[in-house]
Amino acid sequence: MVKKYILNFLLLNSPIFLFLMIWELAGRIAQTPLLPSFSNVIIEFYHLLYSGIIIENLSHSFARVAIGYLLGGLLGIVVGILMGMNVMIEKSLKPLISLLLPIPTLGWLPLMMLWIGINEALPITLIFICAFFPVAYATLLGIKEIPYEYINTAKSLGASSWYILIRVMLPLAAPTIFTGLRLEAGMVWKTVLASEMFAIPTGIGSMMIQAESLIRVDIIMVSLMLLAFMSFSFEKSIYWLEHYVTKNWR
């Protein structure tokens, strides 16, 4: 049983192992700081971790992502629910959200730098924008996709509007809402990375841009690995939360 599990693990992850082997071989053959081997990147990762540089910068990035994503996601859900339950609110807000939704988040960066300035509020605001519009739209779609017969049946049984929202509409709309949240889970990390590279002196993005000025490709690769890991972990966390909520809500 254990051997079968190990064999399956190796087979499923063979592309990753092959990529790492090629990377290690290329780095050893090239013998240049512009292409460090995988083992040298791991050694640098250990040094940065032991010195506290990774913890310090990653904690700054994570705090910005958590605050912006939480505020943007929650407000997006609230606005999406209001649009889904009230036709007048939908007619008022949906055109605006549909107009602003396609704008890339980083397209707001120059404007926000002028309005907000270069401070902690800048990346948080960009992450808020990144999360808010897609989640609001996904919530609206989730509410609209609910068969009206379910709502009518609940009303005929004397259910209050609040009960219908909590026990009927949100559980049925949850998969669509969580899809919006999950899609943006990776985007918010790209957003915080870019904003830190351009404007903020702390965080993973700042660590990358400082490494670039010193031609430290190994540190840049460590930063990219951290970004990939955090994006993957964030998305998986939303997936597990979705599984827990949808399983226990109904």
Determine the pLDDT at residue 156: 78
- What stretch of H or E contains 139? helix 121-144
Determine the pLDDT at residue 150: 78
CATH 2.30.22.10 is held by the domain 35-247 = no
Dist CA 125 CA 109 (whole Å): 10
Determine the pLDDT at residue 45: 92
Could you report the per-residue pLDDT of 46-98, keeping only the tens digit for each?
999 999 999 999 999 999 999 999 999 999 999 999 998 888 988 999 999 99
CA distances to 123, 131, 189, 201 from 198, rounded to whole Å, are: 10, 20, 14, 9
| Both tokens assigned to 60 | 């700054």
| Both tokens assigned to 210 | 């400082």
Determine the pLDDT at residue 69: 94
| Both tokens assigned to 63 | 């705090």
Determine the pLDDT at residue 125: 94
Every domain of the chain and the residues it spans: 1-31, 35-247
Torsion angle in degrees (nearest 10) through CA of 45, 46, 47, 48: 50
Q: Pick out the chain residues at pLDDT < 50.
A: none
Mean of the per-residue pLDDT values for the chain?
87
Determine the pLDDT at residue 250: 58
Give SS3 for 34.
coil
